[in-house]
Structure 1
Amino acid sequence: MAGIGGGDEARSGAVTTRFNDRVRVTRPWRQELRPYVHCYDGYRVAAATSYRVRLVPRGRAVVVINLGEPFAQVFRLSEADPGVRVVGSLVAGLEDGPRVCDHPGGQEAIRLELTPLGAYRLFGVPMRELTNTVTELRDVLGPEADELVERMSATPDWARRFDLLDAALLTRLDGGPDPSPEVAHAWRLLTRSAGTIPVARIATEVGWSHGHLVRRFTQQVGLTPKMSARVLRFHRSVELLSREGTDLGDLAATCGFYDQAHLNREFRALAGVTPLGMAAARRVEGAHEL
């Protein structure tokens, strides 16, 4: 398993943090990537101990480039019989419910979070095809995905890995489809309001009928405007819930829920857990140990 570099990473702006048996490496991503990428980081878990985490909707697409042991299985919590499926490097589209990831331990990977329209441009496919799915990276990006993973695995230097990733992302983004300006504006309205703006007002602002907005938005984002609003409200509430002493009634009002009962129902639907259960969970690389 590759180690963590030192001097080269420091010179490149990469920052390494260690917590128990987990090592995480981050660096600011390039300016050209900022409209499309929320964040990326590398991490390594030295312990060969299996673990399970739960992913909850965040309004983002995710790419995991596995450089060590792959996931044992990744499945929707609602699936009655997920079976056992080894998943290597993967793409996860936007979700409207919780997903469980099992790993045998000894993980080493780079994880990216993409804006929906960044993912649309990067993947070059209608995002609705990836909604609520996990797909092998090569099935979306083609054979060059395997070549990229091999090159990244062959170097122990995380800064060089990030350089390879940046080059691959920029090449794909340069040749990808442009989201329509109306969908891009609709997504900005939703994110800036954290999902509290009515869909009818969005349709009026972009100059489209409700039906046309839903069709075009779902094609390029992956979720309908209404479901996207639910996910964004939920995501904001999860972020605020991490603050010590948060009152659930105040949280519900702040995030646009009718009342605390509505907040509880949305947590059950989107995360499969209560707000208090979510607050008690430890966060691990964009997921929750529940």
Structure 2
Amino acid sequence: MRSLRYKPPSPLGNFIECFWYWEGIPEGTHTHERLMPNGEATIVFNLEDTPIKIYHPDDVNRFDTYGHAVLSGARTNYFVIGTAEQERVIGIQFRPGGSFPFFREPADVAENASIALDDLWRSRAEELRERMLAATNIPAMFQILELDLLDQLARPLAWHPAVDYALHHFRRVPHATTVAWMTGKIGLSPRRFIQLFRQQVGLTPKAFCRVRRFQQALLCVHGSKEVDWTQVALDCGYYDQPHFIHDFQSFSGMTPSAYLAAATPHLNHVPLV
């Protein structure tokens, strides 16, 4: 297996967490993985000559295909991929709200959804993939992605000031900042703020904060063998343990203890067994 990551400098680095490359079938006997929601969008290019498939969570015999490249929008639900389709892939992991400048469509078009990149970028998606396939090495692929994104911006590399301010606070303390408090600070009506935030981030402020709190909980327990679940719930801002378990299951489709038992070195990838 081979894995590389590259974080682009500013200004792209303000919107993109990293470019990543993966080669090889993941270890283990499982054939499918559930990907946990994190409130961020991702683009994936399959560098093998097979279509990308995303499977139905309740029946892995059913799937949708997306050609050689797909945009997965910000989510509050998990989705399922096949390990065989991950043999050679490259992708763009956006920061929260980071996909907004690169598409003419608002970010909420892909809310809890995946869209074939050809439907959004037309011929550009396949042309970009072909240029990466012709590259001599993986860093050259990353450079092709970086230059293409800068050359093909759909809008300025900036959020609305209210969205920028909200993202800063929501990322730091997702459980401690309310929409009412935020609108009091930014001077917008709740309706207008929610509309702007959803268009640029892909989720409502409330949904975004809930999924970021879920991610905070994953970080707290990932890699642990024994966990005080009540303390985790309190540390992450849940009212109590039942509230935490309910939220965890709604995002992941599994209990916290089941996640811990099945967790892999990758925070958001869990074998589907």
Q: Answer yes or no: is 1:58 the counterpart of 2:38.
A: yes
Matched residue type, 1:272: G
Matched residue type, 1:289: P
* Counterpart mapping for 1:84-233 below 5 A: 84-85=64-65, 87-105=67-85, 107-173=87-153, 175-176=155-156, 178-233=158-213
The equivalent residue for 1:279 is 260
Q: Answer yes or no: is 1:289 the counterpart of 2:268.
A: no
Per-residue deviation at 1:193?
0.9
State the Cα deviation string for residues 242-284 of structure 1 (Å, max 9, x = none).
1423311111001111111111101110110111121222144
State the Cα deviation string for residues 81-111 of structure 1 (Å, max 9, x = none).
9445354211000111111112435611112
Matched residue type, 1:273: M
Q: Answer yes or no: is 1:254 the counterpart of 2:232.
A: no
Aligned equivalent of 1:267, options 248, 254, 261: 248
Separation (CA, whole Å) in 2 of partners of 1:175 and 1:211 = 24
Per-residue deviation at 1:70?
4.1
After TM superposition, where is structure 1 displaced by more than 6 Å over at least 4 residues in a row? 47-50, 78-81
CA separation of 1:219 and 1:106: change in aligned 2, threshold 3 A: closer
SS in 2 for 1:246: coil
Separation (CA, whole Å) in 2 of partners of 1:71 and 1:103 = 13
Separation (CA, whole Å) in 1 of partners of 2:60 and 2:7 = 40
Separation (CA, whole Å) in 2 of partners of 1:85 and 1:272 = 23
Separation (CA, whole Å) in 2 of partners of 1:50 and 1:289 = 6
CA separation of 1:72 and 1:259: change in aligned 2, threshold 3 A: same
Separation (CA, whole Å) in 2 of partners of 1:99 and 1:255 = 24
Separation (CA, whole Å) in 2 of partners of 1:45 and 1:96 = 28
Per-residue deviation at 1:69?
5.0
Separation (CA, whole Å) in 1 of partners of 2:128 and 2:157 = 22
Aligned equivalent of 2:4, options 25, 34, 48: 25
Unpaired segments of 5 or more residues in structure 1? 1-21
Question: Could you tell which deviates more after superposition, 97-106 or 263-272?
Answer: 97-106
- The TM-score normalised by the length of structure 1 is 0.84
User: Alignment identity in percent?
Assistant: 26
Matched residue type, 2:123: P
Per-residue deviation at 1:59?
1.4
The equivalent residue for 1:38 is 17
Per-residue deviation at 1:183?
1.3
RMSD: 2.6
SS in 2 for 1:104: helix
State the Cα deviation string for residues 181-207 of structure 1 (Å, max 9, x = none).
111111211111134311211111111
